[in-house]
Structure 1
Amino acid sequence: MCYPDLSLVDTSVSVPVSWVQYSEDNIGKSASERRATRELTELVEGTLVAAARDMWSQYNRVNAAFTLRVNQTTHARNTLQQHLAKTLQEMHQTERTISDLEGSIWAMRAPLRVAQSRLEERTYRPNIELCRDQPHTRLLSEVSALQDTVLSLRQRLSEAQATLQQLAGCKSVLEQELYTKAHSLFIDQERCLGLRKTYPSTPRLVGYT
């Protein structure tokens, strides 16, 4: 088979000069792309290192904030426990006071009854003998004093019972606050700080490991 037109010039075929120029252009583009890749890699690595440094800084700040909060909550819990102990002690003392007042009121009943009985018996004295004499006056004074004492004791008993009721309410509030503080401490100290005991290293954050 013959190919008579092969001797004609084909403009699409390169010549040594254009071939060299094309190759040099490709080599230049390759070097430029490799240089751009290195610059981009360095930029990405710098960004990752800066991000890892910022994350470490934030990690330490959060840990410091958690530690401060745990210390504050612990102090508040300890203070509440002290107040609860004092409240319980005051409740015990108030209960003893109530018991003593009730005993004192009960003890006053006998002499009051005796004095009232004597007054009542003197009303049966006949005729002129029914006299408002000194014994009668003294009995009236004794009955009045005893009644005033009982009234004062009942007033103090009512105040002591009201105080005991207030202390019981205070005790309930303190116990609820203690439960809340203990729950907060468990979450912050055990759950949150417990999960933050380990933290990825900078190489791992950057992506080397």
Structure 2
Amino acid sequence: MAEPEQPRPPVVPSSPPPAGVCDVIRSERPRSCCGAAAAGLRTAKYQLPEWRRRNAGVYYEASAAGEAAERGRAEAKRLVERAAASAQRAQRCPTNTLGQRLQDLQLWRTELQKHIAELEAETKLLAAQKLRLERALDATEVPLAVSADNVQRRGRRQPPDLPVHPGQRRLLPEAELIRDIRDVLKRTIIQATTQIRSNRIQKENCELDWSDKVETFHIDDKCISYGPHSTDVQSHPSSVTFQETASTPKSWAQFSRDNVSRAKQEKLASVQLRTLVDSVVHDASEELRLRRAAVLAALEGHLRELAGAKLRLEQRLRQILKGIGEEEANMGNLRKAIRDKEAYLKVAQTRLYDRSFRPNVELCRDEPQFRLVSEVEELTVFLEALKRKLLESEQNLKNLEETRMKLEKEIAVKADSIFIDGEKCLRYRLRCPVDLEVASYKQ
């Protein structure tokens, strides 16, 4: 790079010397070196005309130098005045722009400070909502434990009462519903945690921008107070060059505008998430309440059905027990009748046997003989009928005994099922009512 050309001093135009004045012209005549007598005549350096011309030249040069100096002083004075006016004008413009810059900095600083406060308040509200979700999630452990315990206990019922009924069909979906609600609450907690982190990150970005603007405000406010007579100003020639990392006014404003825009977006997302949390907790609590009421209604209905079935079985058992007693009495009567008929049969047979020993012609088929034979035959028919009836009664008694045992077993099963549904399920549920929406606000 070529060095700048140094300013040259103004050239004072020379005017021709006045008439009769000229430079000293040495004589061109050959000097005589052989006349000793002429040496005293050339002791003076200049002739009189030469001396006069020389004096005139010196005066002219002095006059020209004085005029040039006077012109230089006048130009220097004008230059000083112009430089002073230009410096004042040049410094007045940056001072005004610095003032405008201070206003812009103050506006952005106020805007950033407002959004920082809003983000901080919104983060606190969202953190409270996140705490509600965590409490609601903790509150679901009791219904899930109750539901799982009910399913487990009802699975221990005896086989006759194991068929799936409305209560059982509602218990299994209840556990699935609670697990789904827990999954939704966990996902919402993760969303809230992520949003809180985003809010804090954006708040830190805005705080950094705000702190930079506060520092810049102090620097520019200090710069605007500088003046020509300030005692703390110094020469910094290298500060004139622009730094490579310096931003432009457009990028400077866009940076803060982006921070404010992102702060607004994070705040809006946080507000929407808080609304979602309210909806999630309310809907989960309502669904759980409805499902719990349906399960309670189904279990109570089944419990009433079990109690009715047990009552009917007990009534039937009493009838069976009465029938067993009557059947046993009937069997006693039949045995007594058989014994009586056997006694009559023995009498008739003994008569026939004894009459078979009548001698000779006395062994006659007389009327008594026919009557005795007829009696034996009649008694034999009755005995066979009584014995068959006794066998039927014995079978009936056996059937009644088996029915009694079955009824007693069924009654015991029903009693066990009533104990499980009534004492282990319903009472456990009634002791542990849970409202997620209320539980989410408990301390």
Query: More displaced, 88-97 or 176-185?
Result: 176-185
Q: Does 1:76 align with 2:309?
A: yes
The Cα of 1:48 is off from its aligned counterpart by: 2.0
Of 65, 87, 95, the match for 2:320 = 87
Q: Does 1:181 align with 2:418?
A: no
Of 11, 32, 35, the match for 2:265 = 32
**Residue matched to 1:127:** 360
The Cα of 1:114 is off from its aligned counterpart by: 1.6
Structure 2 distance, partners of 1:139, 1:103, is 23
The Cα of 1:68 is off from its aligned counterpart by: 0.9
**Residue matched to 1:46:** 279
Query: More displaced, 93-102 or 149-158?
Result: 149-158
Q: Does 1:200 align with 2:427?
A: no
**Identical columns (%):** 33
Q: Does 1:141 align with 2:383?
A: no
3-state SS of paired residue (1:196): helix
Q: Deviations over 1:97-141 (max 9, x none)?
A: 111111111122322222111111111111111100001111111
Structure 1 distance, partners of 2:380, 2:296, is 68
Kept in 1, the 8 Å contact 2:317–2:404? The answer is yes
Structure 1 distance, partners of 2:403, 2:295, is 35
Structure 2 distance, partners of 1:165, 1:17, is 106
The Cα of 1:204 is off from its aligned counterpart by: 3.7
Q: Deviations over 1:150-171 (max 9, x none)?
A: 1111111111001101111111
Structure 2 distance, partners of 1:150, 1:170, is 30
Q: What letter is aligned with 1:59? A: R
Q: What letter is aligned with 1:26? A: N
Unaligned runs of at least 5 residues, structure 1: none
Kept in 1, the 8 Å contact 2:307–2:418? The answer is yes
Kept in 1, the 8 Å contact 2:281–2:436? The answer is no
Q: Does 1:156 align with 2:380?
A: no
Structure 1 distance, partners of 2:347, 2:242, is 152
Unaligned runs of at least 5 residues, structure 2: 1-234
Structure 2 distance, partners of 1:76, 1:200, is 32
Q: Deviations over 1:68-115 (max 9, x none)?
A: 111111111111111111111100000001111111111223222221
Q: What letter is aligned with 2:352? A: L
**Residue matched to 1:172:** 405
Q: Deviations over 1:11-65 (max 9, x none)?
A: 4234666544433332232122111110111022212211211111111111111
Structure 2 distance, partners of 1:177, 1:16, is 91
User: TM-score normalised to the size of structure 1?
Assistant: 0.91
**Residue matched to 1:116:** 349
3-state SS of paired residue (2:239): coil
3-state SS of paired residue (2:238): coil
**Residue matched to 2:291:** 58
Q: Does 1:96 align with 2:295?
A: no
Query: More displaced, 20-29 or 128-137?
Result: 20-29
Specify the structure having the higher radius of gyration (Cα): 2
Structure 2 distance, partners of 1:124, 1:57, is 98
The Cα of 1:199 is off from its aligned counterpart by: 1.8
Structure 2 distance, partners of 1:56, 1:179, is 33
Aligned residues: 207
3-state SS of paired residue (1:139): helix
3-state SS of paired residue (1:125): coil
Q: Does 1:22 align with 2:250?
A: no
Structure 1 distance, partners of 2:248, 2:343, is 140
Kept in 1, the 8 Å contact 2:281–2:437? The answer is no
Q: What letter is aligned with 1:164? A: L
Kept in 1, the 8 Å contact 2:321–2:404? The answer is yes
Structure 2 distance, partners of 1:208, 1:8, is 62
Structure 1 distance, partners of 2:414, 2:278, is 44
Structure 2 distance, partners of 1:76, 1:190, is 18
Structure 2 distance, partners of 1:136, 1:19, is 146
RMSD over aligned Cα atoms: 1.9
